[in-house]
C-alpha cells in the first residue's frame, strides 16, 4: 500500500513542507532509507543523515532549525518520535484488520464464544466457556484455559498460555511464549522437613491497554487476583509472583522479578534485573534502578539503586567519593607524617 504525504500528515496532525503528493510504501531508518520510504528525525545525533538520506518523506519536529536544504518532503509535528509511533500503530492496525477467520486445525469448545472480525490461528485451543471479544487476534499455538475471558482488539502472539479463569482486557498485547496464570510459588514447611503445596485458587487480571513482552510469567493468586493495571508495560523475561499488583502505567524492564504480594504504585519505573522482595509497597512514581535489590517499601517518588537498594542520590555521591579513595589515602598518610613531625617538634621544644 502507498500513501501520499498529505494523507500521512492528516493521520498525525502534521503540516507538509514540500511536495504533498509524493507517496511512500515502506518505512526505513534515516541512515538507510531509500526513495519511496518514510523515516523520522528526532535525535540530533543523526543530523548528518537528515541532509543525505534518500527517504521521500521525513517526519520532523516543527521547532527544529534546519541548517541546510533537505531534499525530502517534510511533515512537521510537535513531537516527531511520538508522531512516528502513532503512524506505526495506524499502519499495524490496518495490516491486522486484514487478518480474520479461523484456521484449521484448531480446537474451540462448544461453549466458547467469540466476537466479530476475530482471528484464531492454527493449533490454538479455546477451552470451556472461553469468551473472546471483537477484533481480537489469537495466533497459532495459543492456549486459553477454561473460563478465560479476552476483551476487544487484543493481540495474543504465538505460544502464549493463559490458564483457567484469568481475565485479559481490551487493547492488550501479549508477546510470544508468555505464561499467565501458572501456580504461585506457595509451599508450607512441615515438621519432617517436607514442603506441602498451598493450592493456588485465585487468578490473574490484566486490565486494558497493557503490553506484556515475550516469555514473561505472571502467577495466579493464592486467593483473589494478581493484577496488572491499565496502561502498564512489561518487558520480556519478567517474573510476577502471586498476589502482586502492578499499578497504572508502570514500566518494568527485562529480567526483573517481583516477589509475592508486593504492591507497586502507578507510574513506577523498574530497571532491568531488579529484584523486589515480597509484601512490599512501592509508592507512585518511584524509580528502581537496574539490578537494584529492594528489601523495603518505598515512598512515592523515591529513587533507589544498588543491592541492597538505597537512595539514588546518596549512592551517586558515594560512588563519586569511592573514585577518590586512592588520592584520599595518600593525603591521609601525608597528614599522619606531618602530625607526627609537629608532635615531635612540640615535645623537643
Catalytic machinery residues: 242
Nearest C-alpha neighbor of 230 from the set 157, 151, 135, 149: 151
Whose cell is 502464549? That residue is 160
Question: What is the Cα–Cα distance from 247 to 225, expressed in whole angstroms?
Answer: 14
Neighbours of 299 (CB within 10 A): 12
8 A C-beta contact, residue 118 and residue 99: no
Q: Which of 120, 92, 109, 53 is nearest to 211 (CA)?
A: 92
Radius of gyration of the chain (CA): 28
Which residue shows C-alpha cell 593525603? 331
DSSP annotation string for 33-62: --TTEEEEE--GGGHHHHHH---SEEEEET
> Phi/psi class of residue 5: alpha, beta or left (left: φ > 0; alpha: ψ in -120 to 50)?
alpha
Q: Helices 312-323 and 325-348: crossing angle, nearest 10°?
A: 60
Residue 292 vs residues 228, 253, 256, 307: alpha-carbon distances, Å: 22, 12, 9, 5
Is residue 46 exposed (0-12), middle (13-18) or buried (19+ Cβ within 10 Å)? middle
253-267 burial: b if 16+ Cβ within 10 Å, else e: bbbbbbbbbbbbbbb
The span from the CA of 27 to the CA of 18, in Å, is: 19
Helix (H) or strand (E) holding 83: helix 80-97
Amino acid at each position: 500500500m502507498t500513501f501520499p504525504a498529505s494523507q500521512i500528515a492528516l493521520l498525525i496532525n502534521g503540516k507538509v513542507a514540500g511536495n504533498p503528493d509524493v507517496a511512500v510504501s515502506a518505512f526505513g531508518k534515516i541512515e538507510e532509507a531509500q526513495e519511496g520510504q518514510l523515516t523520522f528525525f528526532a535525535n540530533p545525533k543523526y543530523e548528518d543523515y537528515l541532509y543525505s538520506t534518500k527517504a521521500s518523506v521525513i517526519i520532523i519536529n516543527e521547532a527544529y532549525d534546519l541548517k541546510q536544504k533537505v531534499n525530502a518532503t517534510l511533515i512537521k509535528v510537535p513531537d516527531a518520535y511520538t508522531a512516528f509511533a502513532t503512524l506505526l500503530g495506524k499502519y499495524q492496525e490496518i495490516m491486522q484488520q486484514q487478518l480474520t477467520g479461523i484456521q484449521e486445525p484448531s480446537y474451540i469448545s462448544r461453549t466458547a464464544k467469540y466476537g466479530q472480525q476475530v482471528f484464531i490461528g492454527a493449533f490454538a485451543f479455546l477451552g470451556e466457556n472461553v469468551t473472546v471479544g471483537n477484533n481480537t487476534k489469537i495466533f497459532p499455538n495459543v492456549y486459553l484455559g477454561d473460563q478465560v475471558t479476552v476483551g476487544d482488539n487484543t493481540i495474543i502472539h504465538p505460544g502464549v498460555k493463559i490458564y483457567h479463569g484469568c481475565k485479559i482486557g481490551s487493547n492488550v498485547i501479549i508477546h510470544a511464549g508468555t505464561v499467565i496464570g501458572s501456580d504461585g510459588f506457595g509451599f508450607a514447611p512441615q515438621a519432617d522437613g517436607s514442603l506441602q503445596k498451598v493450592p493456588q485458587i485465585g487468578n490473574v487480571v490484566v486490565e486494558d491497554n497493557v503490553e506484556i513482552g515475550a516469555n514473561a510469567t505472571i502467577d495466579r493468586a493464592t486467593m483473589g487476583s494478581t493484577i496488572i493495571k491499565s496502561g502498564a508495560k512489561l518487558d520480556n523475561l519478567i517474573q510476577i509472583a502471586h498476589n502482586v499488583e502492578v499499578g497504572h502505567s508502570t514500566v518494568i524492564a527485562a529480567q526483573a522479578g517481583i516477589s509475592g504480594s508486593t504492591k507497586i504504585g502507578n507510574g513506577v519505573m523498574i530497571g532491568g534485573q531488579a529484584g523486589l522482595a515480597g509484601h512490599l509497597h512501592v509508592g507512585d512514581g518511584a524509580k528502581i534502578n537496574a539490578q537494584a535489590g529492594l528489601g523495603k517499601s518505598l515512598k512515592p517518588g523515591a529513587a533507589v539503586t544498588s543491592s541492597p537498594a538505597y537512595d539514588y542520590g546518596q549512592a551517586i555521591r558515594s560512588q563519586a567519593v569511592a573514585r577518590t579513595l586512592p588520592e584520599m589515602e595518600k593525603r591521609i598518610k601525608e597528614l599522619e607524617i606531618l602530625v607526627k613531625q609537629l608532635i615531635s617538634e612540640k615535645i623537643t621544644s
